[in-house]
Structure 1
C-alpha cells in the first residue's frame, strides 16, 4: 500500500485542525495543564477587578494607594511567595508563578514588582537561607500579605557591582550594628521587614531587619517617570542594632543575593511579556476601528506588517518563558539561561510597546490607553535586576569562557 493511499488527504487533515487563535497563535495554551490555566484565570480576574480600573489614575498621581490592602488580597489568592513550599506558601510550579507574573504585569509593572520583591527576593531569601525561627516568624505573615517585605542590595554608588557595597555590619558584644544606605528599594517605606545585605569582617551577609528598629528609616523616592504606581524608597540604616540571630545563617558572600536576583529575573521574563501583550492588544483593537483614508488602518499593509512582527516577538517571548519555566520545575535552569530570557524579553517588550504607540498615533501617549504607561515602566524593568549590559556580559562569558566584567 502506498503512503498516499494510507494517509488522509490534506483537505481532510486540515478540516480537523483547531481554528487559528489570534490571542494564542502558536497554541502555547496546549502546553498548560488545567491547574495552570486556573491559576492564570484567578490572577487575571483579580487584576481586572482590582487594578485595571484604577491604575491609570494611580500612575498619573504617582502613587499606589491601599497597597497594604492589595497585598492582603494577593495573599488570599496565593500570589505571594507562591512558588515556595510550606509556611503558608502555595507551592505552585515555576510555570504557574510565571503565568501570574505575566497577568500582573499586563495590568502594571508596579503590581508585578510588588509581588516579585515580596516573594522572589525577601521571602525567597528567608526561605532558602534563613533559620527555622526566621522562617516561622516571617514567612506565614508575608505569604498572607499581613507583612510586606523589601530587599536591600543596591546602593547609591553600587548597582551593577554589588560587591562594592559600603553598608557594613559590625559585631558589638552579642549584637550586630548595621550602618549604610540602600537605594531604589521597591516596597521600602511600607515594609514591615527588610532583607538587607551588608559587609562584615567575614564577608557579605544577609540580615533580617524589622523596620521598626531604631535607626531604620525609608524615605520614599518621588519624581519618578517610570513605575509611578509603585512604592520606591531609600533605606537608611543609622546604627541599627540587631540581635545575633538576625543574620541569615545559611549563606555568606554574593551568591546569596545573586541567587535571589536570579529567581526574581525569572519572573521578569514572564512579566515583561504581560506588558507587551497589553500594548499589542491595544494596538490590534485600535487598528481595527481607527479609520484613515476611508477604511480601518488595520487594513493597510504597513500596519499589518507591524502587527505581525509584534505578534511574532510577543509569542516567541512567551514560548521562551514557558521553556525556562519547565527547566526551573525540572531543577535544570541555569542563571545564564535566565539572563538570556531577561535580556531578550524585556528588549522585545519595549520594542513592541514603542511600535504599538506608532499605531495609536497621538492617542498612544494618552493614559486612556495602556501603551505609554507600559513603555515607561519597562524602561525601569530594563535596568533593574541587571542591566542589558550585565546580561550581555553574563552571556558573553558563558559563550567564550572569558570574563569581560573587569
Structure 2
C-alpha cells in the first residue's frame, strides 16, 4: 500500500464540487512546466488517454499519464512513458505535497491529481495527458490550463451530479475547452458538437474532419483506415477504432502546435489496458470488461456479437448507476447468446445490494444465479464479467496486465 493510500485510509471518500481548493494548491506548487492534453467524456476516456500517451511516446516525447480509477493498484493511476510509477517514487513525492494536501483539505482525487503533477515535474516529462475523473467543469484536472481538449463519447451517466439530459451532461464535459483552446471530439450526438463550437473556433470532429474507415475487428485487435493508411490497435472493437482515430488526430495537432515538429503516424498503437475486453482465460473464454453504463455495455455486446462470442454474463454495479437499464442491455445480449446471468455484490458501501440486483433482473424476466466470489476455473462456458471497475476485486487470482 502506498503512503497516499495510508493517508486517506480513514478519511471520507467523497466528491466535493468546486475548483477553489485544488486551483490554489496547483498555483502554489508551480509543478506544471509542460504542455498537456485533457480528456473528458463518458465512454472511451481511459482507452483514448492511453492511446494518446502511447502515440506521443512513439513520437519521441517523454510522457506523463494520469487516469482513474485504478483496478488493483493505486500506481495504475500515474504512469511515465506508459509504465506505472513505483511505490517508492510515489511515497517520496507524496511526502513533499502533504503540506498542500492538508492546508487546502484536498479530496482523494484532488490529491492524487496533485501527486501526478509532482511526479511529472520531477520526471521532467515533455508532455502529459490527464483523464477527467467526473464531469469536467468542476473536475480537479480542469484546474490546469491545458493546450488541447479531447471529448470522447458522451452519454447518460453520473446523472446525480451532472444533470438528467444529454445536453446538461455534455455542457459539463465540454467545459474543459477553456480559453478557446483547440478541441477534438469523438463520434458524438450533434448537441455535443454544437456545445463545443460555442467554446472554440478550432474544433475537429469525428465524421467531419476525420474518421476511421473499413474497420475490421478480431480477437487480437482492431484494424482500420485513417487518412488512407492502415492502422492497427491492440484494443478490440469498432468503438476502439473511433477512439484511436480521435487519439491520432489529437496527437498530430498537439505535436505540430506545441513542438513545431512533424507528426509521425504510427502503424500500430498497442496499449495494455486492463478491463477492456481483457481475456483472463482462454478455454473456456473468460473476458473482463469494465463497461458500467448503457453506451459502454452496448458497445461491449456489439463487439462480442461481431466476434461470434455467445457467453454467460457475470454482472454487478455501483449504486449510482442505472442498474435496470444496464441489465436491460445485458438481457438483450443473453437472448442472443442463450447464456445465463450471474449476479455478484460489490463488497463496499458504493455497491448495489444483491437484493436490488435480483429485483431488477426479475423485472426483466431473468432468473439469475448468485455468486459470492468469481473463480474463473469454475466456469464451463464462455463468460463475460462486466458492470463495474470494482468487480476486479472479486475475481480470484486477478492481477491485471
Instruction: Answer with 1 or 2: which has the greater Rg.
Output: 1
Q: How would you bin the TM-score normalised by the shorter chain?
A: under 0.3
- TM-score normalised according to structure 2 size: 0.27
- TM-score normalised according to structure 1 size: 0.27
More strand by share: 2
